Amino acid sequence: MSSKATWGIIILIMSTIIFIGTCTTRIVSNIHFKQNCGGHLKRAADANTIELAKEELAVALAYMEREHLTSGYTSILYQTPDEDIGFWYKNILASHDELFNLSPDATSLEKSNMLIKLRETLLDKGERSEDITCPDGIGVYPFNTLYAVIIFISTLGIAIPLCGIIISQD
């Protein structure tokens, strides 16, 4: 086996390990976000009482503030409104404040309307289900660019040696 082939195999193996590690870390980060924020937003949207909704929103907002998910964009190349973390955070904070400002003497209809409004704020209709409204890539923010670069480079590190191996087989 030539020296080039040996280096190609080493690069292929290392790139594969880096790619799998990065993907695994990204998956774990998304699970962490869902457990500590996204799941609580879903529970707030599903709450049948104002008190339950306030509790769940408080947990989600505390996580957002602790993890600095209060401003910025999750986009890498260009900024679009659906990736604006500041708007997302302020919108949820405003919903939380509205729940706290609701009069204790509010009628059942007013409470019900508030819960419907909250649900519409927190959820988006997906193809098969309702999904939490949040910027894409929020689970790995602020490392979105780093993850994209590592995945791109490791993909090249897999593709180039594989092409070399395939070509050398002819």
Each residue's pLDDT tens digit, 101-143: 999 899 999 999 999 999 999 998 877 888 999 999 999 999 9
Would you state the pLDDT for residue 125? Answer: 84
3-state secondary structure of 142: coil
- The answer to whether residue 160 scores a pLDDT higher than 70 is yes
Q: 39: which 2 tokens?
A: 């799941």
Q: What is the structure's pLDDT at 130?
A: 86
pTM to 2 decimal places:
0.87
Radius of gyration of the chain (CA): 22
pLDDT tens profile 54-87: 999 999 999 999 999 999 999 998 899 999 999 9
**Rounded to a whole number, what is the largest CA-CA distance in the chain?**
82
Residue 156 corresponds to which tokens in the numbers above? 């090249």
How does residue 1 score in pLDDT terms, banded at 50, 70 and 90? low
Mean per-residue pLDDT, 163-169: 75
